[in-house]
């Protein structure tokens, strides 16, 4: 049995997030949402609905979505703390892991935040091409243990999701949240994670 984790960044974001939630809840597909703090303040009820489904995990995607390589330590900590508090208030739990905006981070960032940083091994690239068909094409390259980057404020990802789930189910994938995919690894000292089987402490090599 192959495992895969779908992750959705930048929400909650109105209609497209609702569309994605409907699809995932109806088909009982676990997934992970990486929460942009400002957006959660704007759409608290959508995040609440996601939490009430008891199907999803939530990561901290900062408060205002800066590159963590461009701001000082104090601001990094405040970006994380503000979103921790917002997510805690709405879902009842502080996120156990971080999705760094743009995947940006290095050893110092990791030490400052001191929590698992969840990157990705497969990207639908919806933010670049805005086409549902191309999102599905990208997912055809899926491998066991992949973490898939999608965006719940991108209409192309929302539109492609039913076909992406169909494809992955035909290929015998089981859908996992990030904590379920990574398991006990998440209790180790913090790393950047790219997939179930790939991690380091220096961030994406650019
Ligand atoms: Zn983002």
10, 67, 120, 152, 177 from 101: Cα distances, Å = 9, 6, 12, 14, 19
Indicate the number of domains in the chain: 1
The pLDDT, as a whole number, for residue 75 is 98
Residue 206, in any domain of the structure: no
Residue 162, in any domain of the structure: yes
Residue 205, in any domain of the structure: no
pLDDT band, residue 205 (cuts 50/70/90): confident
Average pLDDT (36-51) is 98
Question: Strand ranges (DSSP E) for 36-95?
Answer: 56-60
Average pLDDT (66-85) is 98
CA of 65 to the centre of ligand 1 (A): 6
The tens digit of pLDDT for each residue in 124-158 reads 999 999 999 999 999 999 999 999 999 999 999 99
| pTM tops 0.95 | yes
Asked if the peptide bond before residue 12 counts as cis, ω within 30 degrees of 0, the response is yes
Residue with tokens 């089987």, as numbered in its chain: 197
As a whole number of angstroms, the longest Cα–Cα distance in the chain is 47
Query: For residues 103 and 90, is the Cβ–Cβ distance under 8 A?
Result: no
Residue 44, in any domain of the structure: yes
The pLDDT, as a whole number, for residue 101 is 98
Residue 107, in any domain of the structure: yes
Quote the percentage of the chain above a pLDDT of 70.
100
pLDDT band, residue 12 (cuts 50/70/90): very high
Residue 50 CB coordination number (10 Å): 27
CATH number of the CATH domain containing 60: 3.20.20.370
Average pLDDT (163-182) is 98
Average pLDDT (6-27) is 97
CA of 138 to the centre of ligand 1 (A): 19
Residue 20, in any domain of the structure: yes
Q: Is the pLDDT of residue 206 over 90?
A: no
Annotated active-site positions, please?
A: 9, 151
Residue 72 CB coordination number (10 Å): 9
The pLDDT, as a whole number, for residue 80 is 98
Average pLDDT (71-93) is 98
pLDDT, the chain, mean: 97
Q: Is the pLDDT of residue 187 over 70?
A: yes
4, 44, 65 from 68: Cα distances, Å = 27, 25, 9
CA of 88 to the centre of ligand 1 (A): 20
Residue 50, in any domain of the structure: yes
The three-point CA angle 77-116-128 to 5° equals: 85
Residue 72, in any domain of the structure: yes
Quote the percentage of the chain above a pLDDT of 90.
99
CA of 61 to the centre of ligand 1 (A): 7
Host domain of residue 93 = 2-200
């Amino acid at each position: 049995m192959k495992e895969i984790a779908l992750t959705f960044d930048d929400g909650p974001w109105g209609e497209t997030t609702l569309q994605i939630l409907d699809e995932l809840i109806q088909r009982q597909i676990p997934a992970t949402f990486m929460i942009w703090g400002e957006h959660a303040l704007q759409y608290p009820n959508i995040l609440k609905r996601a939490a009430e489904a008891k199907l999803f995990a939530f990561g901290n995607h900062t408060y205002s979505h800066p590159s963590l390589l461009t701001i000082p330590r104090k601001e990094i900590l405040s970006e994380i703390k503000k979103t921790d508090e917002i997510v805690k208030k709405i879902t009842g739990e502080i996120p156990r892991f971080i999705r760094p905006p743009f995947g940006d981070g290095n050893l110092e960032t990791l030490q400052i935040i001191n929590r698992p940083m969840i990157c990705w091994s497969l990207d639908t690239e919806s933010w670049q091409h805005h086409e549902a068909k191309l999102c599905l094409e990208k997912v055809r390259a899926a491998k066991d243990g992949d973490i898939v980057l999608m965006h719940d404020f991108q209409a192309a990802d929302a539109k492609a999701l039913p076909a992406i789930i169909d494809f992955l189910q035909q290929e015998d994938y089981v859908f996992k949240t990030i904590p379920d995919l990574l398991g006990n690894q998440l209790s180790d000292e913090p790393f950047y994670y790219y997939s179930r089987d790939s991690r380091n402490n220096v961030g994406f090599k650019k």
